[in-house]
A and B are shown apart, each in its own frame.
Chain A
Amino acid sequence: MQASKLGKNTPINPSDLQDDVICKRRWSGLRRLTYLTIFVLLIQAFYFGAVYAKETKETNDNQVTYTDFTLNIGDRIDIGDYQVELIDIQSLKDGIALMQVSKVGGALDEQRAFLENHANNLEGGSENNGITITVTDIPDDQSAKVRIEYQEGLGTPRRHASERPVAPPDKPILSVQESFDRNQMNVGDEVKVTIAVKNIGTGQALDIKAEDTPPLPEFSYIAGYPPKIKETLDPGESDSAVYLMSAVKEGSIRVPAIQVSYTDAKKNARSNNSEPFNVLINPKSKANLAIELTSPGPIPLGGKGVMNVSLSNMGTATATRIELAGEIRPPEGLEVTGLDRSFFEILPEKRVNYSAVLSGKSPGNYTVRLKASFDGGDGAMIQEGTTEVVVLEQEYKYQYLLLIIPIIVIIAWMYRRYKEYKY
């Protein structure tokens, strides 16, 4: 199992060993054999470990012991004729360290990839007068903890610090910034999104991919999406991408982080994120005309009255191409002049007033309806306003007289007759 897992990882590794052609070939050739060997060895180790544990401890001469070391890249451990040098941390994530193992005399000189927590036997391992090397931990990409198991007869392992000066590692770091040109907008508004990437590290960043997915459902993407960032950024270099989208759905939206993945010069996959942030999408901005008609009050028959019209744009967009058409019900009996108008535009929160003249031709109750059709910024809209207008029957004083005069006449007449017959 463990062997096969290691084997699975090996196909990644050959490219790592490109500088050493022999090793590469040997690896390829010995792959199957190695699996088998490791498998058999492991079973043996289990078996002997269980059965001869007491015995092993008691035989002082070839008693197996171990020592733990922390190696920085370039550091070396010497034990007996063996030399083990940490060459590189191949993958921090996968836990693979590359080490040079060699034996004085040239019997062994090769680079090996060590999978974390997997024992590697050299020349039969510690049980057979060889040594067993295990990478127990890779705390960062500059160091690894290594355990060396050996028979005490081999002497004491020693650590040699790297003779080469410890060069600062070439480590790219990308700062990723995503920004909207506004953090509040209305449905239908366009937003410009800028993604800025800067290499603030020391190493070159390669194979840069900005992962700005999935697309946000609250927007429709107009142009420039998905954003493209230069594949390679040298330290200090920056690049940015811009795309345009428009808001389609209102709401408060959390814009997630953009992940930019890349590798360093050593093919280590790395990534950096932008900070997530919130934007607010308000409902679509529209014009909204409120029509207010002020009835002139009762109009005497044959008289005139002035009706005031007030149009106010209560919306957030400009109303344009405004056409006003009046209608009176019933159509006969009340005449109006100056009610139908048109205006180019009314800005948001602005008001327009005008007045129309009504003349009463026959008594009754009328409804004046004013219909405004306009472009509200999101297509044609219609708004209406109504008011009631009364045209009076007759002047009241005449009506009273009409009633009172006959009564007075009758009373006068009857009184006269009463006097005539009163004796």
Chain B
Amino acid sequence: MLNVLMLGVGQCGNRILDAINKESFGGGGASRLAKYCMRPKFPSRVETLAVNTAVNDLKELRFTTAKDRLHVPNLHGVGANRNVGKQAFMDNRDMIMGEIEKRGDFDVAFVITSTSGGTGSSFSPLLINELKRQYPRITVITVAVLPFREEGSIYLQNAAFSMRELMEVDAEGIILADNQYMKRYSGDIASAYDKINNMIAQRLLFLIESLDSEMLSVTDLGDFKTVMNGGLRIGTMGFYQADGKNPSVKDAIENSLKPGNLLYPANVSEDAARAMIIIQGSREHLDVDQITKEVEKLSASAGHVFKGIVIKKGYPKVLSVFTMASAPELESIYAQAARGMQDEKEKRSRSRKQLDDAFAHIEDLEEIY
């Protein structure tokens, strides 16, 4: 039995965490009622903790228990200012770590955060460091959400800096989800968030469940660590659920790797460094030969591929996790961020100069009363 800690930091992290809790009640509308009568059903021992500086963001949550919501007192958020965020974390570090300690020992911790906000993006690297320091044997996976590109230069800049910090910390790897990439799922932002959050929640829980199951073909936490350690140690997840119309496991595997089913725009055949394919379904749908063939095909481009098969009633479901050797999209973000920062800098000096010019008018004058 795996002991899993899930930390949702900042508003984005909190809400994805809430989606995970919702999923543990079965997801969908019924979970609204289910939370009043049922216990959340996690595949393993899962502890969740939502951390935020903004109490309003915590209040917004629906499926996370009150004791799993930790408010870090710092007025109302940190206003996207990562420096203020870092200071707030350091000020409250013991309190935060104490809250985690209360939840016992863990084998794996997921730190879920946006990269572009203030709180999440500044807390997470520091928090990961603290976790690694206190629990050296723990596997820490960061789930990082990239912003919509049009959200503004500060968000992009935050994303760029926080990504760098997240890559520098001692975590086992980063799973990326890109809001911009998944924007296509829905017209309005609120439902787009919900959709994205639900996708992330579903995949993470599927992953945990699979790692904790008796598998036909062995994959475990160690394999997962190995996958996450590959390439840039930045990866993402794809998922596909076959239905009655096409229960083919071969097609399901291929579909799970298609760009449309990924959380982050990547080209598996070109970018993948290591991969893990986890297949779930009833035995009659799982043709081992076909699976093996598919995995071999993937191995040709992606280096090492782990496969895990879980026998469970239903049509095939496939989760693919892979790390990338290259991340072109990320590079474009940095470029965009840098440009933005440059523009900002220039604008600032320009306006500074204008101001200085204005001040020049009164340079030699004294106030007269």
Which residue of the partner chain B has the closest CB to A415?
B36
Distance in angstroms from B305 CB to nearest chain A CB is: 41
| A421 and B65 within 8 A (CB) | yes
> What is the bound-complex CA distance between A417 and B39, given in angstroms?
10
| B37 and A422 within 8 A (CB) | no
Knowing A423-B58, A423-B59, A423-B61, say if A414 contacts B36 (CB, 8 Å): yes
| B59 and A421 within 8 A (CB) | no
Across the A-B interface, how many residue pairs have beta carbons closer than 8 Å?
A: 25
Query: Which chain B residues lie closer than 8 Å to A413 at the CB level?
Result: 36-37
> What is the bound-complex CA distance between A223 and B35, given in angstroms?
105
Query: Which chain B residues lie closer than 8 Å to A419 at the CB level?
Result: 66
| A417 and B36 within 8 A (CB) | yes
| B63 and A421 within 8 A (CB) | yes
B57-106 with Cβ < 8 A to chain A: 58-59, 61-67, 69
Query: Which chain B residues lie closer than 8 Å to A423 at the CB level?
Result: 58-59, 61, 66, 69
B258-305 with Cβ < 8 A to chain A: none
| B64 and A421 within 8 A (CB) | yes
Contact with A along B301-343 (1 / 0, CB 8 A): 0000000000000000000000000000000000000000000
Query: Which chain A residues lie closer than 8 Å to B37 at the CB level?
Result: 410, 413-414, 417
| B69 and A417 within 8 A (CB) | no
Q: How large is the interface on B (under 10, 10 to 19, 20 to 34, 35 or more residues)?
A: 10 to 19
Query: Which chain A residues lie closer than 8 Å to B65 at the CB level?
Result: 420-421
The interface residues of chain A, by DSSP majority, are classed as helix
Query: Which chain B residues lie closer than 8 Å to A421 at the CB level?
Result: 35, 62-66
Which residue of the partner chain A has the closest CB to B58?
A423
Contact with B along A380-423 (1 / 0, CB 8 A): 00000000000000000000000000000010011001111111
Which residue of the partner chain A has the closest CB to B55?
A423
Contact with B along A73-94 (1 / 0, CB 8 A): 0000000000000000000000
B40-64 with Cβ < 8 A to chain A: 58-59, 61-64
> What is the bound-complex CA distance between A413 and B65, given in angstroms?
15
> What is the bound-complex CA distance between A413 and B58, given in angstroms?
24
> What is the bound-complex CA distance between A419 and B35, given in angstroms?
12
Query: Which chain B residues lie closer than 8 Å to A417 at the CB level?
Result: 35-37
Which residue of the partner chain A has the closest CB to B33?
A414
Distance in angstroms from B99 CB to nearest chain A CB is: 14
Query: Which chain B residues lie closer than 8 Å to A422 at the CB level?
Result: 66
Query: Which chain B residues lie closer than 8 Å to A414 at the CB level?
Result: 36-37
Query: Which chain B residues lie closer than 8 Å to A410 at the CB level?
Result: 37
Query: Most chain-B CB neighbours within 10 Å: which of A410, A420, A423?
Result: A423
> What is the bound-complex CA distance between A423 and B61, given in angstroms?
8
Query: Which chain B residues lie closer than 8 Å to A418 at the CB level?
Result: 36
> What is the bound-complex CA distance between A345 and B69, given in angstroms?
91
> What is the bound-complex CA distance between A39 and B35, given in angstroms?
147
Distance in angstroms from A419 CB to nearest chain B CB is: 8
Which residue of the partner chain B has the closest CB to A413?
B37
> What is the bound-complex CA distance between A410 and B65, given in angstroms?
19
> What is the bound-complex CA distance between A418 and B66, given in angstroms?
10
> What is the bound-complex CA distance between A420 and B61, given in angstroms?
12
Query: Which chain A residues lie closer than 8 Å to B67 at the CB level?
Result: 420
Which residue of the partner chain B has the closest CB to A410?
B37
> What is the bound-complex CA distance between A340 and B63, given in angstroms?
72
Which residue of the partner chain A has the closest CB to B59?
A423
Query: Most chain-A CB neighbours within 10 Å: which of B35, B59, B63, B69?
Result: B35
> What is the bound-complex CA distance between A420 and B68, given in angstroms?
10
> What is the bound-complex CA distance between A418 and B58, given in angstroms?
16
Query: Most chain-B CB neighbours within 10 Å: which of A413, A418, A421, A422?
Result: A421
23 pairs of residues in contact across A and B, judged by CB atoms under 8 Å? A410-B37, A413-B36, A413-B37, A414-B37, A417-B35, A417-B36, A417-B37, A418-B36, A419-B66, A420-B65, A420-B67, A421-B35, A421-B62, A421-B63, A421-B64, A421-B65, A421-B66, A422-B66, A423-B58, A423-B59, A423-B61, A423-B66, A423-B69
Q: A420-B66, A423-B59 are in contact. List 12 more A-B contacts (CB 8 A).
A: A413-B36, A414-B36, A414-B37, A417-B35, A417-B36, A417-B37, A418-B36, A421-B35, A421-B63, A421-B66, A423-B58, A423-B69
Which residues of B pack against A, CB within 8 Å? 35-37, 58-59, 61-67, 69
Per CB-CB distance, the 3 closest pairs between chain A and chain B, nearest first, are A423-B66, A414-B36, A417-B36
